[in-house]
Amino acid sequence: MFGRRFTLFHLLGFEVRLDLSWLILAALVSWSLADSVFPQYFPGERSAVYWAMGIAGAVGLFASVVVHEFTHSVVARRRGLPMKGITLFIFGGVAEMGDEPPNPRTEFLMAIAGPLASVGLAGVFFGVTALLEVVGAPAPVMGVFAYLWPINLVLAAFNLVPAFPLDGGRVLRAILWAATGNLRRATWFASITGSVFAFALMGLGVMSLFRGDFFTGIWWLLIGSFVHNAARSAYRSVVTRQVLRGEPVRRFMREDPITVPYYISIEKLVEEIVYRHHHRMYPVMQEDTLVGCITTLDIKGLPRAQWSQHTVKELSRPCTAENTISPDADATAALSRMTSSGNSRLMVVDEDRLVGIITLRDLLQFLTLKVDLEGKTLERR
Q: Is the pLDDT of residue 375 over 80?
A: no
The mean pLDDT of the chain is 85
- The strand pair at 14-19 and 5-11 is best described as antiparallel
Domain's final residue, options 160, 195, 230: 160
**Of 216, 134, 165, 374, nearest to 174 (Cα)?**
165
Q: How confident is the model at residue 309 (pLDDT cuts 50, 70, 90)?
A: very high
> Phi-psi bin for 220: left (phi > 0), alpha (psi -120 to 50), beta?
alpha
Q: Is 153 found in the same domain as 34?
A: yes
If one counts the domains in the chain, the total is 2
Domain's final residue, options 160, 190, 208: 160
**Of 291, 332, 331, 288, nearest to 312 (Cα)?**
291
Q: Is 153 found in the same domain as 31?
A: yes
Exposed/middle/buried for residue 297 (C-beta within 10 Å: 0-12, 13-18, 19+): exposed
pLDDT digit string, tens, across residues 191-213: 899 889 889 989 988 998 888 87
Q: Is the pLDDT of residue 379 over 70?
A: no
Collect all residues with Cβ–Cβ distance below 8 Å to 207 and sequence separation of at least 6.
Answer: 217
Q: Identify whether 171 is part of a domain.
A: no
Residue 267 to residue 181: CA distance in whole angstroms: 56
Q: Identify whether 33 is part of a domain.
A: yes
Give the pLDDT of residue 119: 95
Mean pLDDT of 47-59: 92
DSSP bridge pairs for 10: 15
Task: Report which listed range, 55-59, 331-335, 367-371, is most confident.
Answer: 55-59
Q: Is 257 found in the same domain as 154?
A: no
Give the pLDDT of residue 23: 81
Mean pLDDT of 225-250: 82
Domain's final residue, options 160, 189, 204: 160
287 is catalytic: no
Give the pLDDT of residue 126: 95
**Of 211, 197, 193, 243, nearest to 375 (Cα)?**
243
Q: Identify whether 302 is part of a domain.
A: yes
Give the pLDDT of residue 288: 83
Q: Identify whether 331 is part of a domain.
A: yes
Q: Is 150 found in the same domain as 28?
A: yes
Task: Report which listed range, 85-94, 233-242, 316-325, is most confident.
Answer: 316-325
Q: Is 30 found in the same domain as 136?
A: yes
Collect all residues with Cβ–Cβ distance below 8 Å to 336 and sequence separation of at least 6.
Answer: 82, 98, 99
pLDDT digit string, tens, across residues 250-295: 988 988 889 999 999 999 999 999 999 888 889 999 888 899 899 9
Q: Identify whether 189 is part of a domain.
A: no
Give the pLDDT of residue 374: 64
Q: How confident is the model at residue 98 (pLDDT cuts 50, 70, 90)?
A: low
- From the list 45, 69, 247, 255, the catalytic residue is 69
Q: Is the pLDDT of residue 380 over 80?
A: no
Greater confidence, 237 or 157?
Answer: 157
Q: How confident is the model at residue 129 (pLDDT cuts 50, 70, 90)?
A: very high
Handedness of CA 154, 156, 157, 162 (dihedral sign): positive
Q: Identify whether 236 is part of a domain.
A: no
Q: Is 153 found in the same domain as 263?
A: no
Q: Is 268 found in the same domain as 155?
A: no
DSSP string, 216-249: HHHHHHHHHHHHHHHHHHHHHHHHHHHHHTT-BG
Q: Identify whether 154 is part of a domain.
A: yes
DSSP single-letter state for residue 160: T
**Of 120, 223, 110, nearest to 170 (Cα)?**
110
Give the pLDDT of residue 377: 53
| Other beta carbons less than 10 A from residue 30's beta carbon | 20
Q: Identify whether 73 is part of a domain.
A: yes
Q: Is the pLDDT of residue 116 over 70?
A: yes
Range of the domain at 310: 249-369
Please give the share of the chain, as a percent, with pLDDT higher than 90: 30
Q: Is the pLDDT of residue 56 over 80?
A: yes
Residue 327 to residue 349: CA distance in whole angstroms: 7
Give the pLDDT of residue 120: 95
Give the pLDDT of residue 5: 67
Q: Is 262 found in the same domain as 119?
A: no
Give the pLDDT of residue 83: 74
CB contact at 8 A, 378 and 362: no
Q: Is 279 found in the same domain as 137?
A: no
